[in-house]
Structure 1
Amino acid sequence: MLDDTDRRILRQLLADPDADNATLADRAGVTAATLWRRLERLRERGVLRAVETRIDWRALGYAVEVSLRFTLDKTEPRAFDAFTAAARAVPEVTEIQTFLGSVDIRLSVIARDMAHWQQVYRDRILPLPHVTDIEPLMLVSTLKDSSELPL
């Protein structure tokens, strides 16, 4: 599906997503016209879906990040839908993931400090519907955070 030129372009795009097309083309060893055609083809194929902005929540004053693993009530047919709808409405929830296994859903939650975390947990997390178990995991450090692929 991808040839060496596509891989070089994607590696350069991942390394410096803010680079202009002329710089990306130069770094990937292709002309600007070739780069443009290749990027368009990658978009048409669905390899490139969107340009994404990543916000550093810590730079905005959010010092606490907690991962919460939830097990939901399996006897309630609408538990999943009700839970995810309620979780989406919590502003401090930055990510919702679903799983197969003993954990049904994982939420990533941010807070400014421990007092804010306690407020969010008591007022917004504990009232989420159809929860049978919660396992909170407080983030201590991030050892790898990369969107790089083995291209």
Structure 2
Amino acid sequence: MMDLDEIDRMILRALAQDATQTAGALGRRFGLSQPATWRRVKRLEEGGAIKGRRLRLNAEALGFGVTVFLGIKLSRKGRASFADFERTVSAIPEVQTVEHVLGRFDFRLRVVARDLADFERVLRRRIMTLPGAGEIEANVLLSEERRPGPIG
């Protein structure tokens, strides 16, 4: 774990809100020079506090109006079935995230589709036919609020 001072925490909070901010803009905001801010951001990246910066696409604006979270319990256990499932489900374009989880289900997927009929097609033709796919539970996303995680 990195030692963070208050300025590091402020920089992390600001970047969590908008990762496109430049070191110059962050420096002006927090009373630092551009080089000093850049060095701090670089140290946070090298220390692992910043894992990367991602572009978040608006799925709805791109024609994907339905997001569904799937809980999937594999029908058979074993190293090969987990690996096979993970590899094949990751290749489905509509599957945005694949999370191996502990609990009732083995995997949690975030799936986008154009509409419910499109989701049903993806579910029946792509997901339910995967090796080892057993029990499946679907939860349709109604709304979402992005909240950055806690910064110590």
**Please, what TM-score do these two structures have when normalized by structure 2?**
0.90
Q: Which moved more, 1:62-71 or 1:113-122?
A: 113-122
Rounded Cα–Cα distance in structure 2 between residues aligned with 1:76 and 1:6: 43
Pair 1:120–1:9, CA change in 2 (3 A): same
Partner of 1:70: 72
> Residue 133 in 1 paired to residue 135 in 2?
yes
Partner of 2:147: 146
Number of aligned residue pairs: give it.
150
Rounded Cα–Cα distance in structure 2 between residues aligned with 1:40 and 1:117: 41
4+ residue runs over 4 A deviation = none
Partner of 2:72: helix, strand, or coil? strand
Partner of 2:19: 17
CA displacement at 1:114 relative to structure 2: 1.8
Rounded Cα–Cα distance in structure 1 between residues aligned with 2:17 and 2:132: 42
CA displacement at 1:148 relative to structure 2: 4.3
Partner of 2:114: 112
Partner of 2:32: 30
Q: Which amino acid aligns with 1:95?
A: T
Of 44, 50, 56, the match for 2:52: 50
**Please, what TM-score do these two structures have when normalized by structure 1?**
0.90
The answer as to whether partners of 2:12 and 2:151 remain within 8 angstroms in 1 is: no
Q: Unaligned regions of 5+ residues in structure 1, if any? A: none
Partner of 1:108: helix, strand, or coil? strand
Partner of 1:59: helix, strand, or coil? coil
The answer as to whether partners of 1:12 and 1:28 remain within 8 angstroms in 2 is: no
CA-based RMSD of the aligned residues comes to: 1.6
